[in-house]
Amino acid sequence: MDNLSGIFARNCSVRRIDKTAADAFLNANHRLGATGGRYRYGLFVQRSTGAAETSLPAGSLVAVAVFSNARRWLKDGRRISSYEWIRYASLPGIRVTGGMGKLLQAFMDEVHPDDVMSYADADYPDGGEVYARLGFVAEGMVERAGHRNIKYRLKVEPEY
């Protein structure tokens, strides 16, 4: 069992954030820091439901997700729009239960991608298990510059 405190994503709201806010959060809370991207979302505390949650002030930014612009191609006469989920980070020591799913859903509701792909560090204890819980499928191992990453893809439109 870990020592993380928690907050439930159902008690948070999602909204688009600007590059400055995303970069500051990622530089402070992600091991790789900020990155470029087209779509940036923040998860903000709305309320707390009691002792089971960490008490954070309403309006606190607790997680950030960054997605790329579309990569497009034709497949079987259909135009496919694929996006990369580039970064996700939450506050250190805070587990945001449902946070990745809530941020992904906000992106999907706004952008309507055909698929979303991402990479998970194969050397991390969970190996990207959260992606599988969100419906992503592992497509294989990618090794670059001494790092091993598992490539995951979520096909929103299964017909392609």
What pLDDT is recorded for position 4? 64
What pLDDT is recorded for position 1? 41
Share of the chain above pLDDT 70, in %: 92
What pLDDT is recorded for position 69? 96
State both tokens at 69.
């612009």
Long-range contacts for 88-92 (Cβ within 8 Å, ≥24 apart)? 88/30, 88/63, 88/64, 89/25, 89/26, 89/29, 89/30, 89/63, 89/64, 90/29, 90/43, 90/62, 90/63, 91/29, 91/62, 91/63, 92/29
| Full-model pTM | 0.89
For domain 5-155, the CATH superfamily is: Gcn5-related N-acetyltransferase (GNAT) (3.40.630.30)
Banded pLDDT at 17 (limits 50, 70, 90): very high
Average pLDDT over all residues of the chain: 90
In terms of pLDDT, which residue wins out, 156 or 82?
Answer: 82
